[in-house]
Amino acid sequence: MTIKSHSLKINTERNFEIIDITSKINELIDIDEGIISIFSKHSTSAIVVNENESGLLKDLEFTLNNLITDKYSYSHDRIDNNAKSHLKSFLLSSSECLPVKNGKLDLGTWQSVFFIELDGPRRARTITLTMVGE
């Protein structure tokens, strides 16, 4: 059994942006079989698995913006003015742990791995990949 790690840097261009990172992760996998942890080192971003369908991705943005709206005032805005970005990140997840088979992510047919920017644009968002397997 071995443990391998890599990091992936992403520049984002919009305040809210969903980026499919499935192929980038597949390129960096260097175990044949095991598990991979995909972790974003930022508290205003997320890592999720879902379907890469453009309407659905718009629906996610719409839903998050309707749950966490400008109707309310948020305490964190007193110091940092990005409470909504953090709150959206709380509702999603900062990591996913996924199976690896034959050197690739073992996803379902309609599944992709996404990095979600919630407070962009930002330079060099860092995602850590940790693989355990053989």
The answer to whether residue 80 forms part of the interface with Zn ion (CB under 5 A) is: yes
Q: H or E stretch including 61?
A: helix 54-67
Closest CB to Zn ion among 4 and 86? 86
Taking CB under 5 A as the criterion, which residues in 43-72 touch Zn ion? none
Q: Which residues contact 85 (CB under 8 A, 6 or more apart)?
A: 44, 118, 119
Structure tokens at 130: 């940790």
Residue closest to Zn ion when measured from CB atoms: 80
The answer to whether residue 82 forms part of the interface with Zn ion (CB under 5 A) is: yes
Closest CB to Zn ion among 31 and 87? 87
Closest CB to Zn ion among 82 and 111? 82
Q: How many CB atoms lie within 10 A of CB 80?
A: 12
Interacting span for Zn ion (CB under 5 A) from 4-12, 77-85, 93-101, 120-128: 77-85
**Omega of the bond leading into 99 within 30 degrees of 0 (cis):** no
Q: Which residues bind Zn ion (CB under 5 A)?
A: 80, 82
